[in-house]
Structures are given as C-alpha cells and as structure tokens.
A and B are shown apart, each in its own frame.
Chain A
Amino acid sequence: MRSTKWQILGRLTPLIFLLAGGARKLITERRRTMSKSKRLVVSFAIGALFMALVSFLTPILTTQAQAPAGASAPPGPDPTGNSTGKASDVAVKNPASPALVELMDTIGHNKIAINIVWTLLAGFLVMFMQAGFAMVETGFCRAKNAAHTMSMNFMVYAIGMLGFWICGYALQMGGVGAVAALGGTPPLNHEFTISLFGKTFGLFGTKGFFLGNSVYDVGVFALFLFQMVFMDTAATIPTGAMAERWKFSSFVIFGFFMSMFVYPLFANWVWGGGWLATLGTNFGIGHGHVDFAGSSVVHMVGGIAGLAGAIVLGPRIGKYTKDGKPVAIPGHHIPMALVGTFILAFGWFGFNPGSTLAGTDLRIAVVAVNTMLASAAGAFTAMLFMWLRFGKPDPSMLANGMLAGLVAITAPCAFVSAPAAVLIGGVAGVLVVLSVFFVERRLKVDDPVGAISVHGTNGAWGVISLGLFADGVYGDGWNGVPGPIKGLFYGGGFSQLFAELIGVAVCFVFVFSSFYIFFKVLDALIGNRVSAEVELEGLDIPEMGALAYPEFPISPGFAESVTTMTVPEPARRRGTLTVEPAEN
C-alpha cells in the first residue's frame, strides 16, 4: 500500500524533468522575443497547468494518511494533537502493571520540568531587556555619546555575569535552601548568620562560588540564569543616570562591584533567606519584607546606585544655568527610546510571571495581566499629566510613565487584584514625573534618562503598594509565615506595610552609602568623570575609539559653538557652566 505513492512519483519523475527542461529552454529562447502581453498569457498558462497537476496528484498522495488506525496498525500522523503523548510514553519496568511510585516519579519529573523550562524561558525574556535598556538610554542621550552609552549597556551584561558567577550568586543564593519549585536545589544549603537579641540574622550565602562541582545541579543552574539576568537589570540602571560623562574604566569596576557584592547582599536579605525575609518569623512583622519580582531588590537598588553615582559625578556641562535653572538636553533618538521601552515591557512578561519560578503555579496568569495593566495605566497617567501641565504629551515621559508602572507593579504583581494594579500603575505614572522634576530642580542631580525616578522612586512605591493593596488571596506561607499576605486596605493592618517600609529604608541606606563611598574612593583612585574637553567633544571617540554615526555630520543642536570654549575646572565640577555662543 505504502509503496504505491512512491511508485507513482517514480513514474512521474522523468516526466517532471522533461517538462521542466522544456519549459526552461522555451523560456530562455522566447523571453527576448515575446511581447509583454504574450508573456503574461504564457505565465498564466504555466500556473494553470501547475495547479491542475497539483489537484490531480493530491488525492493520490494523501489517501494513505487517512487509513483508519487499528489496534495493531502503526500509529499514523496526529494532526490535532489529541492522541500525542500516551501511557506508552511513561517509562515503567512492566507496562502491564506499572507501579504507583513509577507513575509518581514521572509526574514529579514532569512538574519540575515544566517549572525549569518556564524559569529558563522567562530568564531568556529578561535577558532581552538588556536590549531595551540599551535603546532607551541611548535614545535619550545625544548622538555624540551614543556609542559610549550603548557600549556600557552592552558590556554590563558580560561584566555583570562574570562577577555574578565568581561570587555574586554564592553570596545571594548560597544559603537559600530548598527551592521546591526547581526540584529542591539541595546544594545551596549554607547561610552565614549572626545572632542578635536571641534571633538569627542571615547575612549572605556561602555555597556556589564559580558554580563549582559541589553545586553541579540543574535546579541550581536554572536559578543562576534567572537570578543573573535580574542582577544585570539592576546593574544597567545606573548607566542611564550617569550617562554622557562617565569614564568607561570607572564603569567597568562599578560593574564588578555591583554584581559581586552590593546587589547579591541585598538580594540575599530579601530572596536568599536573609534577615529581611525572616523579619516575619523572627519578629512577627508581616511576612517579612516581601518583594515578589524585585521592585526593591532589582529596581530600587539600581535607582539608588544611580543616584549616588550621579551625585558624585555632578551634572553634565550645560545642564544648569548660572542661577541653577535646569536646561533641557533633548535625546537624539526618541523612536529608539520608545522601541526600547516596548522591548522592556515585553521582557517584563519574563520578569514578573517568571518570578513564580514555576510554570505549574497558574497564578502566572494574574501576574501577567496585572503587569500589563499597570504599564498601561502608568503610560496613560504620565501622558495626561504632561499634556495638562505643558500642553504636549512629551514622548520621553510616555516611556518613563510606562516603565514606572512596570517597576511599581513588580513587587505586588502576584498579590493584588486587577483594579489595584491599575491604581498602582496610575500613581506610578504621575509619581515618576513629579520625581523627575524633584530630582532635577530640587536635588539638582542630573539624570539624563530619568532612571532614578523610574527605578528608585517607583521601586520604593512598588513595595509600599504591596503593603497597602495585597488582597489576602495569594502567598500562604510566604517566608515561613502562615496565612496569605494582606495589606493595610485589606484588613492586614500595618504589619505588612511596616515590613515593606523597613525594606525600603534598608535598601536606601545600604545601597546609597555603599555606592557613595565606592564612587568617592574610585574618584580618588582613577577618577569617575571624563575631562571637560572629552565631554564637549562627545565620549564616542576619546573613550571608545568609534563614533556611533560616523557617516552623518552631527549637528551641534544644543552645545553649539562650544568647541572653542575653555572650561574652568570648578565650574565643570559644579556643573553650573552656561554654554554661550563664542564671541565673534
């Protein structure tokens, strides 16, 4: 039966070759002489002939596929998928009477497989957020610094990953214990602790340096990938706040410091079983500091690091007039920044739903919807605010608004209802604009892309909103505290809110002081900031050796006629230099 199909084909083969050869000869001979209309007719004729041939052959060649599948017949194709995956796919010793434990093993293996595949895929999405950050930050910078800004965002992935591999992962997750969703991660079993007031405070993990042989485990590796891309998100945030004036050498050292020490320590305290997570079991403060996907652990850490860095660096030349009024320095590529924002919003579907570490935890549907709702609300309220206040819906603020909504919903995404998610995102959209003005006008800190406001301010708002809006549906047993997580507005009292506020305060104090001291020391050793000449010329050639756009003349939009200007050092430091056209 089976062979008839091939026999027919075999018999037809010479005919097909003959036809093809003839047609080719005909075409090459006639092409020049044929008129346009005649060529059209011939094309149609060939097409009609081909269709007739196909409709003639189809029934002959497909009859075999529809043979009824009997008990003994070999399995046919399964176009609907309904019968793919059978008892015969489960490995058992005796198929006639499988043992219960064999079936349980298979079910357990499949469950963990779903979770690990889910965690990895979500991690791949978060990895792609690096591209989003690179585009947002570069788009908001000037063309003369585009290669430099892009390169920082590019290399933070490589530098951060190596630092995290060396010791960051071990310090963060080395004592996390059994991550049940990933099959137990048995090797990550030691946390360095100290005892105070008769309670144990976890400070950092001690297993998993260099991902050595003692942690050679699929669950540990899956967790490494996922935690690594999260750390990288935090590490790439300061490159925006400090853009257009940061020495590349200083940035490289920062990348290691962030990925090896500061981020892993705070992440250990919240996610690795450290002392902020155990505030609940130790002192009865809510469920301890709860941060589902990293509003504080990832975003606030990045934002506060950026704040410390931007303060030490000082504002870009020309950012403030002599009397301290901020001057706008428009970004060179708004479409790039908006596409980058979309990539980030897409990657966030890995960031938040992936943080279940379990595809079998179907709360991921709620998490994903809350995430997208908050991003929409944030973009919308930011648009309205700018429109009403300045008459136009500034595109750069639309992007910041959407990101603010995403950052804010990152902590509470698993614990709140959809209306609360919209409210949290909506507040974030206005908060980010007010924060940008506050940072720029009151603090006089120059943040070219709004990273401090998007990630720092809204990271704090995100964990606080969890303490307000957690609706008591999800999170039973979180951090070892029985019962679901309830916020202030859902009958949970101030307890959870208090835990969140402790987390915010610790994050601010620890990260800010660490990085302020770090950048001050680095300033004394190698310097953080490029020279005024380099800054005015653009960092691309002096720092990187390549222009982002070598074949386009860069029109001096903002800092025209500055090339002949000399810049006094104190003015540069204070950033109060005004750029005025050179006198003729």
Chain B
Amino acid sequence: MRKIESVIRPHLLDAVKNALQEVGVVGMTVTEVKGFGRQKGHTETYRGSEYKVDFLPKVKIEVVLPEDRVDPAIDAILRTAKTGQFGDGKIFVSSVEEVIRIRTGERAALAL
C-alpha cells in the first residue's frame, strides 16, 4: 500500500478528482493548505502600500492505494494538474504500513 500526497493548484481540484475516479480511486482526503516552492510568493498593493504574499493557497489530496494502482493514479494527476508554469505543485509517494476501516475493523487491502 502506498500513500500519494499531491499538492496542486486549488482550481484544478475538480479535474484531478475526476481523473482519479476514472482510474478507480474510490476515496480521498482533501485539505486546503498554504506554502511556497519555486513559484515563491508575490507582491500586491493594498491602499497604495505593497505587501508580500509568501504562502500561496494550494490544495493537498491524499489517497492510499494498492501497489498496482499507484502508477495510473500518478499519471492521472500529472495529466490534469499540469499547466507547465511554476506553482503546479508536487506529488509525494510513501509506504503505508497499515490501514484499518473504523466501522468494521477490516485491515490492509480489505480496508482500502
């Protein structure tokens, strides 16, 4: 089992979600997050004074999948979350030791 965490542009959430569902992802956790990478922040003016926005709003999607579904899911994210500009985000993949469904107590693959 692997966890795919992808930090993406907020307005692409729907597209990414649909693409993931098409490759068979049945559940996900979504968080509104802030951060910066190579895009850095940007400068705005308010009432004639400048201020820097250091942390830009992003959305983080977490899905946990069996090994054989991981690559199609990554492809789906890459296909839909990419604009080619700085700020498209990142995908992190890590191993997950155990999954338990709270309602039934099922574990591992059964719980996914």
- By a beta-carbon cutoff of 8 Å, the part of chain A in contact with chain B is 326-330, 386, 389-390, 392, 394, 396-397, 433, 436-437, 440, 450, 555, 558, 560, 581
For window 49-65 of B, CB contacts with A under 8 Å fall at 49-51, 54-55
Question: Which residues from A are CB-within-8-Å of B47?
Answer: 328, 394, 396-397, 436, 440, 450
The answer on a CB contact under 8 Å between B51 and A558 is yes
Query: Is B34 close to A, CB under 8 A?
Result: yes
Question: Which residues from A are CB-within-8-Å of B44?
Answer: 328
The answer on a CB contact under 8 Å between A396 and B51 is no
Question: Which residues from B are CB-within-8-Å of A433?
Answer: 48
Question: Which residues from B are CB-within-8-Å of A560?
Answer: 54-55
Q: With the chains together, A581 CA to B52 CA distance in Å?
A: 13
Question: Which residues from B are CB-within-8-Å of A386?
Answer: 48
Chain B 25-55 interface 0/1 with A at a Cβ cutoff of 8 Å (1 = within)? 0000000001000000000111111110011
Distance in Å: Cβ of A388 to nearest Cβ of chain B: 12
The answer on a CB contact under 8 Å between A330 and B48 is no
- By a beta-carbon cutoff of 8 Å, the part of chain B in contact with chain A is 34, 44-51, 54-55
Provided the pairs A328-B44, A560-B55 are in contact, do residues A440 and B49 lie with their beta carbons within 8 angstroms?
A: yes
Q: With the chains together, A450 CA to B48 CA distance in Å?
A: 12
Tell me the nearest residue of chain B to A390, going by C-beta: B45
Provided the pairs A328-B50, A329-B51 are in contact, do residues A394 and B45 lie with their beta carbons within 8 angstroms?
A: yes
Q: With the chains together, A436 CA to B45 CA distance in Å?
A: 14
Q: With the chains together, A385 CA to B46 CA distance in Å?
A: 14
Tell me the nearest residue of chain A to B32, going by C-beta: A555
Distance in Å: Cβ of A322 to nearest Cβ of chain B: 16
The answer on a CB contact under 8 Å between A328 and B54 is no
A-B contact count (CB 8 A): 41
Q: With the chains together, A396 CA to B51 CA distance in Å?
A: 15
Q: With the chains together, A396 CA to B48 CA distance in Å?
A: 10
The answer on a CB contact under 8 Å between A326 and B49 is yes
The answer on a CB contact under 8 Å between B55 and A328 is no
Distance in Å: Cβ of A579 to nearest Cβ of chain B: 11
* 9 nearest CB pairs, A to B: A328-B46, A328-B51, A328-B49, A330-B46, A326-B49, A390-B45, A396-B47, A437-B48, A327-B51
Q: With the chains together, A475 CA to B72 CA distance in Å?
A: 82
Question: In this complex, which of A330, A389, A394, A433 has the most chain B Cβ atoms within 10 angstroms of its Cβ?
Answer: A330
Tell me the nearest residue of chain A to B51, going by C-beta: A328
Distance in Å: Cβ of B80 to nearest Cβ of chain A: 26
Tell me the nearest residue of chain B to A392, going by C-beta: B45
Question: Which residues from A are CB-within-8-Å of B55?
Answer: 560
Q: With the chains together, A330 CA to B44 CA distance in Å?
A: 10
Question: Which residues from A are CB-within-8-Å of B34?
Answer: 555
Question: Which residues from A are CB-within-8-Å of B45?
Answer: 328, 390, 392, 394
Q: With the chains together, A328 CA to B49 CA distance in Å?
A: 5
CB<8 Å pairs between A and B, sample of 19:
A327-B50, A328-B44, A328-B45, A328-B46, A330-B46, A386-B48, A389-B48, A390-B48, A394-B45, A394-B48, A396-B46, A397-B47, A433-B48, A436-B48, A440-B48, A440-B49, A450-B47, A555-B34, A560-B54
Question: Which residues from B are CB-within-8-Å of A394?
Answer: 45-48
Q: With the chains together, A433 CA to B44 CA distance in Å?
A: 18
Tell me the nearest residue of chain B to A386, going by C-beta: B48
Question: Which residues from B are CB-within-8-Å of A327?
Answer: 49-51
Tell me the nearest residue of chain B to A436, going by C-beta: B47
Further 11 A-B residue pairs, CB within 8 A, beyond A328-B45, A329-B51: A328-B47, A328-B50, A328-B51, A329-B46, A330-B51, A392-B45, A394-B45, A436-B47, A440-B49, A450-B47, A555-B34
Question: In this complex, which of B46, B47, B51 has the most chain A Cβ atoms within 10 angstroms of its Cβ?
Answer: B47
Q: With the chains together, A328 CA to B53 CA distance in Å?
A: 11
Distance in Å: Cβ of A87 to nearest Cβ of chain B: 62
Q: With the chains together, A392 CA to B44 CA distance in Å?
A: 10
Question: Which residues from A are CB-within-8-Å of B50?
Answer: 327-328
Question: Which residues from A are CB-within-8-Å of B51?
Answer: 327-330, 558
Distance in Å: Cβ of A328 to nearest Cβ of chain B: 4
Question: Which residues from B are CB-within-8-Å of A392?
Answer: 45
